[in-house]
Chain A
């Protein structure tokens, strides 16, 4: 199969299949009953088949994933001790990135500008397709079991009606799968989209699906509030994203990622042109836009347009050196990142994700951990070549704050799903940090491994909730005897997220990706020539939080599955979930163990390496911030890998042991520690008071202003409008009385009266006497003759 032909077709079909399921379920869903679920599941499975086909038959035979460039940089870097090697350009100069760009449909053409429904397919997109469709297929099967309550009438025990009874409503089984299908369509469309505008459209579509699914139990006030919160917080981020889009469109005149033809360069080749060895430069159009005053001056002083244009072209390089347009790159990058902050729940917009756990658990597994929230990281990865070092530093700082904050909050949470939600935020922070310090590969790898083990963890927690009908871990305990499959698959998930493994030998998937991130951060620290403040901070926080991760994950596992049951009644009712639910768990746990294994040529790392944006592996220095972003390959050296692996292993083991002592063996008492560090505990339990802070800063002022505006609206604007209406009414009453009744009616009546009087006076002629009529005729005739003869004249006759 020729990849340039078959990849867009196969993946396009994979995108559209869930849309078919959605449309059918919208139109005839309620009539299909549980076949609606089977339809959605079938479609996503077919999409998975399409994705796997495109990976195995259309991608791999044409793109050998054997490692290529690794060997070259190693000796070169090893020779320099802690001195940044000047970017080894020739190695990358003639590289061609393996990506297929094109469009299915051209939406609009405005002169030389155009907008397409396009695709940008590289190994990252293909791998994302396989990952999303695989997890989504598992979750569809799982949901058939998890949501079976909804098949018939459903009694919601969390909604109490005014008469004290529980709300009973028709089941929403088809509707759930309808939303899931729409979500799958949007997510796949987001991954395949070939331009940032199309990305934005699907970005909003996944947002609305998330809104629908969080608010699935719409009668619960907490669910509908959480849905609104998620939607509104995301709007804040998307606002920044729109600004980024505007900068890109108005200065570059294209939204396309890659080149469609040689004459239509995409953003990537504008920002990193091949003639500059794919080094990041400010595009000429952006420079001229920023230096518009100088451009205007040249145009005024030159004789013809041609000379002016050539002079502008000649000056562009000088302007670029003076720094024109650089800040536009920063704004564009920060704007796009803003959207990612909202979607990926990064600081300071992280508050929506924990509340989003009000949705059904399969939704949390698919949307709010594995795929949609990872879309922000995916977009940062996609847009990675466009980010200037200053933006990368912002990304790293935001990621660092997020991962630490969320990890600390997760320690105190007792709701099993909230622990996982904070853990998701924390892991997303890791990805952002990795990308921010220049570790494209590390960030993307963690995106994939995290998707597998986090969806696994969520589905396990769903299985537990299904068994014991509560979210509170304080009411669980000892459940591994009741539900062994769930317990041991969840243990695998915990080990994977903690990065468990035998150092330098083999490990769970998290071992590879988390170590890659830590190595990257460490090399960012170690390769700073001076002023290493940021790097040290990043590394300490990241390594410390890795320990916290292990602690809270095993705290969760021990509290749920180990020890004696805390609530005997719930324990007695607990049961293992049906097969349709635990078989997906086993499938996902296999992937959580082995997805990042790097023993063969065909491995996730090597596949993703093919999609690495051109020129991003080189070391760069910021223009405003004096930091070095070292070559990513430098992180693979022995002197980096060796200490980092040991540190990561040590922190994880420490976290695990602490959890063991507190919750596994219950040797230490967590209550005592809580009282000892009362203030800290309160601080963490209240989630750093972010909700209260935002409530005070934004929500209350907004409500106050809106109440004020309502008052103005009610009193003044309504008064004005009522007054106007009253005036109009009076005016028309006056008009009715005088104009209509007086003039118009009067005129008509007058004519009628005249007609009537005339008729009245003429009626006497009608005597009914036949002989009289004959007389009149005769006399009339005679009279006419007499008159004619009297006035007869030649002139009258003509």
Chain B
């Protein structure tokens, strides 16, 4: 590896240094834009006691759900979970700690963490179970709660395209939490569908600058669809 070239050649190398009890921030929404091969590598490594920060926790046999059977996750910080049976079982049995966090607060926690902002006030969650134990303050007649930001030992990210310096471009709604996760990892690992030479990406079109990226790997992706919904014809209807 030389200069700003972030490309690594194996998934083992990509996730090197991940140890038990670390915090991992993952991009993705549902199964869309998830770093599926980096998750598979964590499963292969067998790392345990992980705290995972991700909007969701995958399904039984795909996404972060694959880390459940071997009890690799100690705690998950997420906004919406329970799309899989093993998750439900572990949560109900008290084997898995779940910290439910409003989706916008979760995104902002990552953004703030990556930007060196330790905490922020938000109206979201005021007067609800989310506010328990948190500082409250009134600004201009409105009530807010103090939410602390999040950083991770690792961030795992899926982008569409990158150059060798780790400048990233995302595709459609597979962007979601990925650019935020990318900023908030001490070590940010990104897997992509295509790596181009430096200079090939238009600087005006880069979503995440390479400064946030430590390791970059080329992958192939299943891109499983959670809710395949189609319309029959050109009939103008949402059902």
The reply to whether chain A is a binding partner of chain B is: no
> B: which residues have CB within 8 A of A?
none
Which A residues are closer than 8 A to B by beta carbons?
none
